[in-house]
Structure 1
Amino acid sequence: MSKLILTVDDSASMRMLLKATLTAQGFRIEAANDGNHGLERMLEVQPDLLITDINMPGMDGFGLIEEVRKLPQFRGTPILVLSTEFAEDKKTRARSAGATGWITKPFDAERLASAIRRVCP
């Protein structure tokens, strides 16, 4: 069965782009529009992988990663950050919160799929 990925981004166009790109790569996709919604969806759909933006209203990506990592059932779930941010301090903060990897927007579909397969075989 194909892997289920939860994408969390406040941009509707980015959620649609991720869904189209990742569905074409054979993944099943669920989406959320911010960190709070993302945490709810994590509990509902129990994804194999979380992809989250950092800059979102309400709970940002850092907060979402921290909250997800507090839940025992998601301690081993890979989390990829997909963001326009690329500053080293942001990447360090994401890793400290529990992120598995970082991909900078705009993303290349093949590189994204490769990164997903690396962290979620």
Structure 2
Amino acid sequence: MSAIAKPLPVHPARRIAVVDDSVAVRQSLRLLLGARGFSVQTFAGAEDLLAHVAPGDYDCFVIDLKLEGVDGFGVLDALRKKGVEAPAVMISGWEAHALEETARSAGFAALVRKPMMDTSLVRVLSEVL
């Protein structure tokens, strides 16, 4: 009697929304995270994201600090006001004093500095999710 191998269960990919005003960063993160099995949608800024997001749409948000118009803190605040409770990770190339503490106090789960190595962002997302 031969054993028939059962297929492994398929788990839906974690849905990540990336908000960054740099086309290069959005493309890079889409490729990087997509190659690691994440389902990634990118947005150029707060208005773009907030016009298309509802509670439950994403498992995590990756939000740049410096955006045109509303900054990353404003984006997270607007998400929370819409009832979106998924965790968020701030990304930033700025070396502001106490930025990590400020980001955590504002509700971000973590801060990842640019230029980020692929393993650092993926590691943080794995921890957050």
2:121 matched residue in structure 1? 112
1:92 matched residue in structure 2? 101
- Displacement, 1:20? 0.5
Structure number having the greater helix percentage? 1
Q: Distance in 1 between matches of 2:82 and 2:55?
A: 13
Structure 2 residue 92 is the aligned partner of structure 1 residue 48 = no
1:59 matched residue in structure 2? 70
Q: Distance in 1 between matches of 2:54 and 2:48?
A: 10
Consecutive unaligned residues of structure 1, counting only runs of 5 or more, are none
2:54–2:82: 8 Å Cα contact kept in structure 1? Answer: no
Aligned length: 118
% of aligned pairs identical?
28
- Displacement, 1:113? 0.9
Consecutive unaligned residues of structure 2, counting only runs of 5 or more, are 1-11
1:32–1:41: 8 Å Cα contact kept in structure 2? Answer: no
1:82–1:104: 8 Å Cα contact kept in structure 2? Answer: yes
1:32 matched residue in structure 2? 43
TM-score, normalized by length of structure 2?
0.83
- Displacement, 1:69? 1.8
- Displacement, 1:44? 8.5
Q: CA RMSD in A?
A: 1.7
Higher CA-based Rg: 2
Q: Distance in 1 between matches of 2:25 and 2:69?
A: 18
Q: Over residues 39-59 of structure 1, what are the superposed CA-to-partner deviations in whole Å (9 max), with x where a residue is unaligned? A: 223328811000000111111
After alignment, is 83-92 or 18-27 more displaced? 83-92
